Amino acid sequence: MSYEAKQISRYFDKKDLHIFGRVDSKPTLKDIRTKFVLKISKIKGKQNNKDENVTGRIILYSYRGTPKLEYGDLISFKGSIKKPRNFLNPGGFDYVKHLSFSDIAGVSYTNGKKIKTYERGKDQSLSIKVIREINQLRENFSEFIKNSTDNDKAFSILCALTTGVKDYIPDKLRDDFSKSGASHILAISGLHLSIVTTMFFFVFNNFFSCVKSLVIRGLSVKFAALATLIPLISYAVLSGFSPSTKRAFIMITIYMLSFVIEREKDVLNSLAAAGIIILVINPSALFAISFQLSFSAVFFIILGIYITRDISFFKNKNFISRLSMFIVVSFSAGLGTMPLVMHYFNIVSLVQLFTNLVIIPLIGFIVVPLGLTALFVFSFSEPIAFLLIKLSIPVLSFSISFVEYLSSLSYTWARCTTPHVFEIICYYAFMFGLFLCLLKKNKKSVYIVGFSIFLFVCYTGFVLEQRFFNENLQITILDVGQGSSSLVEGPKGTNILVDGGGFSYSSTFDTGRHIVAPFLWNKKIATLDAVILTHPEKDHMNGLVYIIENFNVKKLIKNSDTRKKRSYVDLIETCLEKNVPIVEFPIEPSLSFSLDGKKEIEPNIYPQIKLGKLMISFLHPLSDNKFIDKFGKNDYNNNSLVFKVKHKNFIILFPGDIMERTEKKLALTLGDELKADILIAPHHGSSTSSSSFFLDKVKPESIIISCGWHNQYNFPNNDVIARYNTKDINYYRTDLHGAVKVVSNGKYYNIVTFKGD
């Protein structure tokens, strides 16, 4: 932990702090939330009421009523600072490490009306003024584009292409570009900087060629190369200087300087130099996704060119040979980035080559030059800039429609599970050996190819054995914050997801996209035999829309409650769109069914799901008599599906969010049928649940509580925890222990937590 982080850590979770600092990034607004980095200068505590100088940076989220802020503004607000925390699940995104790489020590939330600005415009350094001017130019040009077209999608893409601002791109459109294999076009990288370089080098070279003295001395090209660096630097800074931009900028700069010093231009050396310079300046860039994708793509492009450079066909300068070289470049870049794209984004585009044959000429050679020219002339001639934008919009609109059409076709892309690091190493070892074979550099390189294939096959066999030949039951209760989501993995590779977690309807965080789906993909799961929604409340339901959209789900099982909330409507509409059958409870009590669609009558009063030796019995609701709350509306919590999962002699009970009234009903009507080895705490351990008589009927040895870290409801309730202790019941909490995994062979069981507690 850095010195700055240690300073700020002394104030974690202390209330009523008066925090002073300088806005250290451009504030971005999404929905009702404004986000920016704040560089803290001092903190005044409530107890000592003394100012203390503190150094460090935090992320500040401001909701509603946030004043208009700019980079460099001095502000103050009252609130608290929270320690950054990961969702503690296997294979989850390491948010804490991500923030530490950016020198972020803490996170804070406040009402925008509590923020006060002071001394605006005073004591500002030259760097702050320059960055403000750059941000203002980006903002003005973005607004100018928006006013120049009524096509919101074209506006968002053109902003990304010219200024590097991607905040306006809708998630759906961003996903469509990924599915079609064209997402790379949205990042300011080598293509964009090469266009800027070509444009200005052509202009400057023609200008200096008119000066005879420079031509005679052979200085015209050198002067043109040096002059080109000025707009190149300007554009790189304006676009935000991402890792891919830095890589391209350094490579092009080295290449241009080679004209000046009259040295041989070697792109491989330029790439290596760019990587070394970036890592010396910022070693953490090595772990950035954009850095890895950028360098792997360029490296494989260089290898592709090395392989084809001695083939006579590619030495021709006709259209066919140039088109073929373009295909080689696109194919090489795709090969280089494929395992990383699969690892980080869990997607494979099957039409990337075809997409790039259309999109790169249209966007790269028409839209980007027009947009960049508009950007450079915008400051002194808005009419010309307006005309250039108007010329680019039809081409860009067609490109977007083309991408959306391709992504709508089911056979053009596929979701994939997350490759393990070992698999990625095997892939790159295989490609390295294949490259040496093609160059005929070393006959022993065939052994590299063979050995990498052997290791990959062995690893794949191990994964398949663990997945499809395992006789144990494994249940993982995920850490999804204040919500609930669990994965039931039955013997022989059957999988059932229970709920999907979710935050408030105003939250932009999708637990399905960011927590549940990555967990499933990390476990090599792409098909779910069933998804069970215990009840349609946001903390159980919101994450399921993304799951239904992106996984092969065979059935959705739910109770008969319906909602008018957007997330519920989206869930049902997605099921209909994806042809996912919906099974609603209550159903005929004596009816049992297997997940392959076959129905059988069993001598049991409870509906059941059969999964080989695994049995899921639904205990509630068994009738249409719904619970009504005190306002006369459906009591969604008490109408939750209650079911038990049985594997031989082992039983775990899932009660949803039922409360005392339903617990009492079940205890009286079911009695010993409720008995289970493990109980998932009803309603996240609230004071209205886990009643004594219910616990006496269930008789659990262990209880697992799914709850959020420092949640606003103070779950689990202290009285409930005391009740567990009095009855000598072991309990585990996802907020403290992370994901909780239960493994049973049908006779014994073992509980393992992500944190190892």
CA distance 600 to 591: 7
Q: Are 707 and 734 in contact (CB under 8 A)?
A: yes
Q: How many CB atoms lie within 10 A of CB 536?
A: 23
Q: Which amino acid is at 167?
A: D
Lowest mean pLDDT among 183-197, 261-275, 386-400: 261-275
Lowest mean pLDDT among 17-31, 243-257, 658-672, 705-719: 243-257
Q: In the predicted model, what is the mean pLDDT of residues 338-359?
A: 90
Print burial letters for 194-218: b (CB count within 10 Å at least 16), e (below 16). Answer: bbbbebbbeebbeebeeeeebeeee
CA distance 273 to 253: 11
- Choice between 59 and 3, residue whose per-residue pLDDT is larger: 59
The pLDDT of residue 710:
85
Residue with tokens 């309990």: 731
Please give the torsion angle defined by the CA atoms of residues 214, 217, 218 and 219, in that order, rounded to the nearest 10 degrees. Answer: -50
Q: In the predicted model, what is the mean pLDDT of residues 78-92?
A: 89
By CB neighbour count within 10 A (0-12 exposed, 13-18 middle, 19+ buried), where does 426 fall?
Answer: buried
Is it the case that residue 589 has pLDDT exceeding 50?
A: no
The pLDDT of residue 60:
94
- Choice between 534 and 411, residue whose per-residue pLDDT is larger: 534
Q: Concatenate the DSSP letters of all residues of 273-342 into one string.
A: HHHHHHHHH-GGGGG-HHHHHHHHHHHHHHHHHHHHTT-HHHH--SHHHHHHHHHHHHHHHHHHHHHHHH
Cβ neighbours of residue 316 closer than 8 Å, sequence gap 6 or more: none
CA distance 416 to 16: 47
Report the CATH superfamily, name and number, of domain 473-753. Answer: Ribonuclease Z/Hydroxyacylglutathione hydrolase-like (3.60.15.10)
Nearest in space to 669 (alpha carbons), one of 643, 697, 689:
697
CA distance 682 to 435: 58
Q: How confident is the model at residue 507 (pLDDT cuts 50, 70, 90)?
A: low
**pTM of the entire structure?**
0.87
Q: In the predicted model, what is the mean pLDDT of residues 29-33?
A: 80
The pLDDT of residue 128:
79
By CB neighbour count within 10 A (0-12 exposed, 13-18 middle, 19+ buried), where does 725 fall?
Answer: exposed
For the stretch 317-343, pLDDT in tens is: 777 777 777 788 888 888 888 999 999
The pLDDT of residue 280:
74
- Choice between 500 and 757, residue whose per-residue pLDDT is larger: 500
Cα dist. 336→330, 442, 451, 591, 716 in Å? 10, 22, 20, 53, 48
- Choice between 262 and 499, residue whose per-residue pLDDT is larger: 499
Is it the case that residue 310 has pLDDT exceeding 80?
A: no
Is it the case that residue 84 has pLDDT exceeding 60?
A: yes
Map residue 355 onto helix, strand or coil: helix
CA distance 746 to 721: 28
Average pLDDT, the chain: 86
Is it the case that residue 349 has pLDDT exceeding 70?
A: yes
Q: How confident is the model at residue 600 (pLDDT cuts 50, 70, 90)?
A: very low
Tokens of 599: 């129905």
Is it the case that residue 500 has pLDDT exceeding 60?
A: yes
Q: In the predicted model, what is the mean pLDDT of residues 124-148?
A: 85
Q: How confident is the model at residue 632 (pLDDT cuts 50, 70, 90)?
A: low
Q: In the predicted model, what is the mean pLDDT of residues 69-97?
A: 89
- Choice between 544 and 33, residue whose per-residue pLDDT is larger: 544
Lowest mean pLDDT among 274-283, 339-348, 509-518, 697-706: 274-283
Is it the case that residue 594 has pLDDT exceeding 60?
A: no
- Sign of the four-CA dihedral 276, 282, 286, 292: negative
Q: How confident is the model at residue 266 (pLDDT cuts 50, 70, 90)?
A: low
- Sign of the four-CA dihedral 522, 527, 533, 538: positive
By CB neighbour count within 10 A (0-12 exposed, 13-18 middle, 19+ buried), where does 263 fall?
Answer: exposed
- The percent of residues in the chain predicted with pLDDT above 90, rounded, is 44
Q: In the predicted model, what is the mean pLDDT of residues 282-306?
A: 80
The pLDDT of residue 379:
84
- Sign of the four-CA dihedral 685, 686, 689, 694: positive
Q: How confident is the model at residue 552 (pLDDT cuts 50, 70, 90)?
A: very high
Q: In the predicted model, what is the mean pLDDT of residues 345-363?
A: 90
Q: In the predicted model, what is the mean pLDDT of residues 334-355?
A: 90
Print burial letters for 582-595: b (CB count within 10 Å at least 16), e (below 16). Answer: eeebbeeeeebbeb
Residues in the chain, total: 757
The pLDDT of residue 210:
87
- The percent of residues in the chain predicted with pLDDT above 70, rounded, is 91
Fold classification of 3-124 is OB fold (Dihydrolipoamide Acetyltransferase, E2P) (2.40.50)
- Choice between 15 and 35, residue whose per-residue pLDDT is larger: 35
For the stretch 634-652, pLDDT in tens is: 789 999 999 999 999 999 9
Q: In the predicted model, what is the mean pLDDT of residues 551-562?
A: 93
For the stretch 665-684, pLDDT in tens is: 899 888 889 999 999 999 99
Tokens of 270: 């330029």
CA distance 585 to 582: 10
Q: How many CB atoms lie within 10 A of CB 13?
A: 10
Is it the case that residue 1 has pLDDT exceeding 60?
A: no
Nearest in space to 709 (alpha carbons), one of 735, 731, 685:
735
The pLDDT of residue 613:
75
Is it the case that residue 410 has pLDDT exceeding 50?
A: yes
- Choice between 51 and 19, residue whose per-residue pLDDT is larger: 19
SS3 content of the chain, % helix, strand, coil (to 5): 50, 20, 30
Lowest mean pLDDT among 98-102, 354-358, 428-432: 98-102
By CB neighbour count within 10 A (0-12 exposed, 13-18 middle, 19+ buried), where does 444 fall?
Answer: exposed
For the stretch 464-494, pLDDT in tens is: 888 888 889 999 999 999 999 999 999 888 9
Tokens of 70: 């700019």
